[in-house]
Amino acid sequence: MLLRDKVGLLIDDIAAMRTTVRIQLASVGLEKCDQARDIKEAIDKLNTKYYDLIVCDYNLGKGSDGQQFLELVRRKRLLPMTTAFLMITGETGYQQVSTAAEYSPDDYLLKPFTAETLGTRLVRIIEKKEALKPVYKHIGPKTDSEKALAACDELLAKKTRYALDVMRIKGELLLAKGRASDALALFNEVLQQRSTPWAEVGKAQALIAYGNSDEARILLEQTLTAYPNYVAAYDTLANLLYKTDKIAAQQVVEQALHVAATTQRQRDLGALALANKDFGRAEEAYRIAVDRDRTGFFKSHDDYAALARSCYEQEKIPEALSAVKDMSQHFQRTPELAARQAALECQVHIRAGDERAARAALEKAQAAQKSSSLDVNTQLEIAQALFASGQPDEAKNIIKQVAEDNQENDEIIEAARTVFEVAGLDEEGAEFLDTTRKNMIRLNNDAVALAKSGELDKAITMLVEAADRLPNNAQVAINAAQALLMRAQQQGADLTQIGQAHRYITQAIRVNSQHPKLEAAVAFYRKIAPPGARPLEV
């Protein structure tokens, strides 16, 4: 029996269900099976052990669900694609929440089920995992999309029964690599035989990558009419509309909420409602997110901050203040939390016209900022409070640092833009961020020009200064390493310089291990580094 030598993990918040399923699993041969009752326990287990298969209930209580868990562990690269994942769902909770193949369970099983059915399904997905192993081993923790694509082509040439699964993965790899026309051709090939939701959405994504937004929008709307349960289509459409029509994007997320009311989708809706100044709706959505995730794994300062803002924008001062106060109950007391609360309180007090309290709160936030290193969202919150307090220059100083440091992170740049927007400075913000971006490009270009004209030392001084000041800017760190390696190549490798280059490459890997320029820098390092230099772990 195929299941005899496998190791499984069963995740369910209800003890009785764990016992029942555990017995069923044992009766079909899976004796070695650990159990977890929530996401935290499951993650602890995954951190210490390899599992061949995971059986996970969709409803995990505490506002969290199996889909959230699957996406989280894939993103954190805790769950290799070679591990089989079976999602158990109740009949009314039977929702397709699948997005990319990477975030889709291998199969769904509806309750109630017999041990025999459970066994058959598990054997089937394990067989599939085995057949697709040549592809899966290059996706996930060690992504090498070129090798994965080559493995796809090899499998397709063999005409396996899993050809469609391979096509789906290949399409996603092509999209991720930005090869829009190849992806489009692939999805069209599938659609020529028949319609299927993933290929329709894939085609729309390829059209978007092509810049053909209008056609993509029409296709996505038609796809939703035919497949109203296919959540990935709502998400793709909402993302597409986000850039051009936030009101329409909010309506799409509202529709998606009817299909699958996940906590994450409440957050997405709240964010759009805030952007659309629909503060009442934003308050509702964030209140649900905060209530559901009170003890959950995904709770975040950001939800409370957004809830507070939704309230004070409606002049609901006591509600806003209590949202801020609640944070003390639900989070660990850290300098970050204190700074976030103070920055929020400052904004609420300004709304309420209490200048003295606002000033006191702002001072507290600024003191925290000086004494400890805060995360980006807390820094931006302080910038927001500074704008509200009539100190735009101080606010811009913070935003400049954040934007330079996180130049390649679209999400953070968007968050910085939103700070200007909330302060009523939309145009100034766009211009300011554009200038920051250009400055960073110029810094890199100037350094490269200096290096080329022989002034390598000057280039290195510039880049090293920038890389130390901007620890989250992978591009700058890579360029600093490249320049150091060039000098080592020209003047002979000394271990101090090589060590410095090592540090900057490691810095870049920490920020973004998938950075397109990283591969060349790593190869250069390995070529130049003398024996005895620290090896690079990539």
Partner 1 sequence: MDTLVAAAIHDAKNALSALGVWLDEAQRECGSENPSPALKQAKAVTATISGQLVELLALYRAGEGSLRLAVEDHHLEDYLTDLMAELADTRAANGIEGNAPIVIDTDFAFARGNAAWAFDAYLVKFVLLDALRNALRHARQRIHFAITAEPGGGIRFSITDDGDGFPEDILRSESSKTMSADSSGLGLSFARTIASRHATPSGQHGRLELTNQGLGGKGARFSLILP
Give the interface with partner 1 as residue ranges (CB under 8 A): 91-92, 94-96, 98, 110, 112, 117, 120, 124, 161-164, 194-198, 200, 219, 222-223, 225-230, 259
Q: Which two tokens stand for residue 538?
A: 């990539």
| Strands annotated E in 76-132 | 84-89, 107-110
Find the shortest distance in angstroms from Cβ 355 to partner 1: 45
Q: How far apart are CA 417 and CA 425, in angstroms?
A: 9
Find the shortest distance in angstroms from Cβ 93 to partner 1: 11
Q: Whose Cβ is closer to partner 1: residue 121's or residue 340's?
A: 121
Q: Whose Cβ is closer to partner 1: residue 204's or residue 324's?
A: 204
The amino acid sitting at 476 is V
Find the shortest distance in angstroms from Cβ 193 to partner 1: 8
Residue with tokens 């591969």: 519
Find the shortest distance in angstroms from Cβ 32 to partner 1: 26
Radius of gyration for the alpha carbons in the chain, expressed in angstroms and rounded? 26
Residue of 129, 120, 134 whose CA lies nearest to 79: 129
Find the shortest distance in angstroms from Cβ 10 to partner 1: 21
Output b/e per residue, 103-129; b: 16+ Cβ within 10 A: bbbbebbeeeeeeeebbebbbebbebb
Q: Whose Cβ is closer to partner 1: residue 193's or residue 332's?
A: 193
* 8 Å CB contact between 377 and 443: no
Q: How many residues does the chain have?
A: 538
Q: Whose Cβ is closer to partner 1: residue 93's or residue 335's?
A: 93
In sequence order, the 6+-apart residues with CB closer than 8 A to the CB of 535 are: 529
Q: What's the angle, vertex CA 47, arms to CA 41 and CA 49, rounded to 5?
A: 100
Find the shortest distance in angstroms from Cβ 258 to partner 1: 8
Q: Whose Cβ is closer to partner 1: residue 112's or residue 535's?
A: 112
Task: To the nearest 10°, report the CA torsion of 394, 396, 401, 404.
Answer: -170
Q: Whose Cβ is closer to partner 1: residue 256's or residue 382's?
A: 256
Q: Whose Cβ is closer to partner 1: residue 127's or residue 455's?
A: 127
Q: Whose Cβ is closer to partner 1: residue 260's or residue 495's?
A: 260
CA 75, distance to chain mean position in Å, is 7
How buried is 353 (Cβ within 10 angstroms: 0-12 exposed, 13-18 middle, 19+ buried)?
A: exposed
- For the chain, give the longest Cα–Cα distance: 74
Residue with tokens 């291998």: 106
Which residues are bridge partners to 107 per DSSP?
A: 86
Q: Whose Cβ is closer to partner 1: residue 197's or residue 429's?
A: 197
Residue with tokens 């309750």: 111
Find the shortest distance in angstroms from Cβ 362 to partner 1: 43
Residue with tokens 């959540």: 231
Q: How far apart are CA 201 and CA 222, in angstroms?
A: 10
